[in-house]
Structure 1
């Protein structure tokens, strides 16, 4: 640090001769600054930013548009990026708020080399952005997602251990046998007994809510539907069943709802109430603690029911029962369910690394044979992310639910499926189950077709998402049903037929039993029909 001097000394010395003092020089006032101020307009709205990077980060976080991931997935060069930018700007100008970027063939036309905006600052900044984007690569985001999924799995594992310990503690009681049959791990809203308390207690912790909210596919879909269709929520009464942190309720409030009733039977409702207050929405959002079957509703009827009720393999946790109860008791005759449609899909698994990692692993653990661990390994549904390259046939939609008409009886079923075996696979090692969700804009929306995938729904302009292997991973992942005795000898073009059954586990209604029977050509074929059951606890 330089020694201090008196102000008079500084003043005197500067008045004598200061080579940097330009007050007496002529012409300096006409010199322009080295850098011009840059304003970059958002790709999707009227927000402006001082640089391209901050604008693209905003588009990623608020509109789900990740240009870094899209560049890598579609292998875009510099001209490809220019075409992409101009394509999106032209689509948004035409009123399409969610341009289709599923394939680069959509924007390959050279007409997209012509700037849509005059002096578009973004086009001049693309080189700089992608020269220094290491910290924002999709790989880092995938790694983050893996960590979140691992945390969620760890949370559920700890919860299982807690429930098992509670069971052992009660073994000496006279009612031990009765109570032990009621231990459940789920998100129950219409059950009774200690299992409900255990479950709701598990949802009072932050970890599970953090994993769900950070699932961009899930949370962005709800946000986009609510914000993009404010006319459906403006001045309406909304019921949020199983509100958790209150995020969906606050979306609805921001969209113009006049009243949102947020219901949850977990301690998380206290945090939801505080979240609502911190955001100044307490005059709109009313938080009620209790099961939807038992709470005293402040209104006899609601216009919209919003809920994130989906569990692993869609129906694990049985929360949909409570949502349907709320629909039948409180939804207006012309009211809307959000989301409105769900489809369960199944596909054959072959040549998969999952068998090696989940089954064969136990045969050699640090040089030890631990095959004893395999006693019930094939009876459990494995929740993992699979690679689409391991699917030996196209998926089949075996259950389609319209939430406006579905009944609780529809949730226990036996449904047929079929698919054609693809070339390059021989051994059937199991099945993969996942679900697609669609948000229709009306009780009867002509764009929703039977068997429609989430991707097809998006092409029709609907908000939708998939939990399958063809899409970005969600916290639901997929349900893997590994076969104890893999079936060999399939040839390309052969038909694989069968039935899949969903049954609630006796005494543990929040758990799920899934049974699959299958054969080449189905039950009418000459091949032996095989059958196996898996449990999702």
Structure 2
């Protein structure tokens, strides 16, 4: 290792380490050196060592890392910055990195690892050594008139500094490993107040629940299911393509971008810039999809929570997101969209979609009860009625047949997404229904949601609060239902069955049923919901039951 770079590394490490950091390193045994894998700067290809990766990038992508490092005369500190700078720019879709200057690397943000487990940073010192030694052979020997004693003294000084460096460099490498699990952008420092972590209002979500939520979107199956949901995907596509004047030359933010499909719709509709954000590993595939479709110059992919990432713009013209969960609000993603709306959306900007409603209806379906509930009365000759309790405690995600409905539907909550606040997502609302058929028993309630896409100046009147009626208003009037009378969606409906120990009277067509819906968020699991329904038939006894959706 060159003694000159040792000095640079010692200086870099002394600046980048703090006493508090050192305390955190004492009991940690690094394990990153075994089986190191180096990922290409520009694609998903991996290599067993840094040299092979750099040769590949030079030949395949016309970027020579070592030549750039030599041209800029970068020390170890600068080479770390260069590596992270190239990875970051490549992720943003910048495929031309031949004109990098020293000024481009001034910001210390480029000390932050861009990739988790970036093997290049772990082995960078070794490949720099080899490069320095190779270039040293091309240089002339030191002047012979320098006294040997002076050279020996200088060498002794450097050896002493190298000894100190060894411990510091071990700390540095451990710091890099730790920051792969904790992004530097989350740290709060007095030197960088603008980089402080944004804290979302509302109930804190335990880390384990949050991690499980985002990990559930990292795989392929869930995205295949959503993309094949034509009701969902075609509604977004049709609104974007039928209203290109809304998106032309605009800056769009796509929250929870998944595979990137909504971002690509917006780019094709003429958006000037689209920022796609997702906190699951699917963001890597979204980036590949975007490049494969030639849209990397328009769409920028950013990994992280929307509340924590730093966007390349201060404001956007449009926010698009498919945030809906079961019963609309399960998963608590709407809270993140509202946070982004308040921080990033221009005054007069558009949320897509812009209106949602929650609907409830009474259910009576003897066939379903026999198949799915009374089944437990006799299971291969055994009494398993104890299992029924669970069936009554949790909401069930089902697509029910239209004839399961015992009464008319009742829209009990309207959410105008440009104006709604997080506090509005916990509520109590009245509902009522008219029984539409004679039935032996009321078995439960069915909850679903409807979604409406409007321009910023449009309002959906109460008499048009049904997707079919809004669609009939003309071209570009897009809406869809997740209810039993529409085409099945991946959201289905939420079925809440009444406990058999709470017997219900025989119902006649024309009977009135009324009550309230109480919607709450449990403190121990803020991504789930609890729905409590109260009801009475005519002037009869008021009943009440709560169900979990988790």
Both structures adopt the same fold (TM-score exceeding 0.5):
yes
- Displacement of 1:201 in angstroms is 1.2
Q: Does the 8 Å CA contact 1:345/1:398 hold for their aligned counterparts?
A: yes
Structure 2 match to 1:489: 506
- Displacement of 1:212 in angstroms is 0.4
TM-score (structure 1 length as normaliser): 0.63
Q: 1:502 aligns with which of 516, 519, 522?
A: 519
1:219 is paired with a residue whose SS is helix
| 1:470 maps to 2:481 | no
Structure 1 match to 2:148: none
Structure 2 match to 1:81: none
Q: Does the 8 Å CA contact 1:400/1:451 hold for their aligned counterparts?
A: no
Q: CA separation in 2, counterparts of 1:406 and 1:438?
A: 15
Cα distance, 1:440–1:376 mapped onto 2, change above 3 Å: same
Q: CA separation in 2, counterparts of 1:405 and 1:444?
A: 13
Q: CA separation in 1, counterparts of 2:494 and 2:457?
A: 30
- Displacement of 1:233 in angstroms is 0.4
2:519 is paired with a residue whose SS is strand
Structure 2 match to 1:402: 416
Q: 1:519 aligns with which of 512, 532, 536?
A: 536
Gaps of 5+ in 2: 1-201
- Displacement of 1:388 in angstroms is 1.0
| 1:193 maps to 2:207 | yes
After the TM superposition, list the runs of 4 or more consecutive aligned residues in structure 1 that deviate by more than 3 angstroms. Answer: 188-192, 446-451
| CA deviations over 1:24-54 (Å, ceiling 9, x no partner) | xxxxxxxxxxxxxxxxxxxxxxxxxxxxxxx
Structure 2 match to 1:225: 239
Gaps of 5+ in 1: 1-187
Q: Does the 8 Å CA contact 1:448/1:457 hold for their aligned counterparts?
A: no
Task: Report matched runs for 1:315-330 at 5 Å.
Answer: 315-330=329-344
Task: Report matched runs for 1:306-321 at 5 Å.
Answer: 306-321=320-335
Q: Does the 8 Å CA contact 2:256/2:277 hold for their aligned counterparts?
A: yes
Q: CA separation in 1, counterparts of 2:365 and 2:209?
A: 39
Structure 2 match to 1:137: none
Q: Does the 8 Å CA contact 2:204/2:526 hold for their aligned counterparts?
A: no
Please, what is the CA RMSD of the aligned residues? 1.6
- Displacement of 1:491 in angstroms is 2.1
1:362 is paired with a residue whose SS is helix
- Displacement of 1:457 in angstroms is 1.0
Q: CA separation in 2, counterparts of 1:317 and 1:337?
A: 19
Q: CA separation in 2, counterparts of 1:533 and 1:345?
A: 17
Cα distance, 1:463–1:227 mapped onto 2, change above 3 Å: same
How many aligned positions are there?
345
Q: CA separation in 2, counterparts of 1:505 and 1:450?
A: 34
| 1:534 maps to 2:537 | no
| CA deviations over 1:257-278 (Å, ceiling 9, x no partner) | 0100000100011111111111
Q: 1:378 aligns with which of 372, 386, 392?
A: 392
Q: Does the 8 Å CA contact 1:343/1:451 hold for their aligned counterparts?
A: no
Q: Does the 8 Å CA contact 1:344/1:397 hold for their aligned counterparts?
A: yes
Structure 1 match to 2:117: none
- Displacement of 1:486 in angstroms is 4.2
Q: CA separation in 2, counterparts of 1:503 and 1:451?
A: 28
Q: CA separation in 2, counterparts of 1:198 and 1:448?
A: 39
Identify the range of structure 1 (444-453 vs 476-485) with the bigger mean alpha-carbon deviation: 444-453
Structure 2 match to 1:31: none
Structure 2 match to 1:433: 447
Q: CA separation in 1, counterparts of 2:350 and 2:276?
A: 16
| 1:460 maps to 2:473 | yes
1:323 is paired with a residue whose SS is helix
Which structure's CA Rg is the greater one?
2
- Displacement of 1:459 in angstroms is 1.4
1:328 is paired with a residue whose SS is helix
Cα distance, 1:269–1:248 mapped onto 2, change above 3 Å: same
TM-score (structure 2 length as normaliser): 0.61
